[in-house]
Amino acid sequence: MRVLILGGDGYLGWPTAMHFSAAGDDVWVADNFAKRKWELEEGIAPLVAVPTLHRRIRRWKALTDKTMHIRVGDLTNHRFVYNLFEEAQPDVIVHYAEQPSAPYSMQNRATAVFTQVNNLTGTLNVLFAMRRHCPDAHLVKLGTMGEYGTPNIDIEEGYITINHNGRTDTVLYPKQPGSYYHLSKVHDSHNINFACRIWGLRATDLNQGVVYGIDTDQTALDPDFRTSFHYDHVFGTVLNRFVVQAAVGEPLTLYGKGGQTRGFLNIRDTLQCVDLAARNPSNAGEYRVFNQFTEQFSVMELADRMVAAGKRAGLKVKIRHIDNPRVELEEHYYNAKHSKLNELGLNPSLLTGAVIDSMLATAQTYRSNVDKEMFLPQIRWVGGQERLP
């Protein structure tokens, strides 16, 4: 296939690019490197410095003799997007290119507005470019389980059938997002669904759970292939943060009681899920939704597993409960369906003790790089850090 990966410099984008290239697909990568700029603005950095995308692609060609095409530009620039799609003529578009952080979006008015404008405008430009230049292509869009929130009923995969006043209909599942970032993903979902219904486009929306993990088969091949593993309070995810905290002897910081329950998956399974979606496209006019996660855990359950991993490594890992900076239910019902990717052949990498042990060992190797100031949350949902000019 000819695969266009939008946001190909990121934590998920770069491993995805290598994954498809290793499989023999013709890979095009686009990015504007905004994530690196946001990191500089926030004063944070990945656990290990990440080489430039250009260097990684050159090294990839040197080791594998496989070429990736790179284009630098911003999805909010419709001329760049139209030219890119006309040139690449992709069979599959994998869309990661959005501001990905809930805390960043809740920081102040400016970051909330930027998140909405950046994410929605970019996706709309993608849809219009597909309509004009490659209407038969398949869009694989990274959504989030956070779109659903924590309803007091089972979470279905994208749609729900309702009975009302004696009539029955199947509609998009109602969304209760918890941040302006998650809300931008809800708007994306509605826009993509509309484009499929009206223009006959084909799309798969992957409502992804919380991702953890450091390595994939390809990132482990060479130091230049590493991806941007974050542990900080802005771009880091909870298990990744716990692993690094344990590695440097800091207590695991649990927001509130730690009863928040979410779906989780290994970064290796992200690649597997995206591959399955790409190689099994939806039909023309079909907006398909997969809930992309493999297991459900509460934050407290993850912390307990991290304590056990620390004990196996000879570390005494402690737990510290702190005030929850977010506005969210800490004890709630959570039962999300996730069968469609399994039906396509997903073989999940579950969160075993060995997986956590491996992550911990890697974090210990790079413990001298850790900035402990980045563990505690500095952005609050109520009040935030609003600074008016």
Kindly state the tokens that stand for 240. Answer: 């990744």
Other CB atoms within 10 Å distance of the CB of residue 169: 9
Q: At what angle do helices 109-133 and 78-88 cross, to 10 degrees?
A: 40
Residue 53 dihedral angles phi and psi, to the nearest 5° = -60, -40
* Residues marked as catalytic: 144, 181, 185
Instruction: Give the whole-angstrom CA distance, residue 138 versus residue 286.
Output: 10
Q: Is 166 helix (H, G, I), strand (E, B) or coil?
A: coil
Of residues 12, 53, 7, 10, the one with CA closest to residue 30 = 7
| Bridge pairing between strands 92-95 and 26-31 | unpaired
Instruction: Give the whole-angstrom CA distance, residue 263 versus residue 269.
Output: 13
DSSP state of 345: T
- At 372, the amino acid letter reads K
Give me the half-sphere count of Cα atoms (radius 13 Å) on the Cβ side of residue 140.
28
Instruction: Give the whole-angstrom CA distance, residue 187 versus residue 326.
Output: 21
DSSP 352-364: -HHHHHHHHHHHH
Instruction: Give the whole-angstrom CA distance, residue 183 versus residue 204.
Output: 18
Of residues 191, 267, 260, the one with CA closest to residue 229 = 267
CA distances to 141, 198, 264 from 13, rounded to whole Å, are: 12, 29, 18
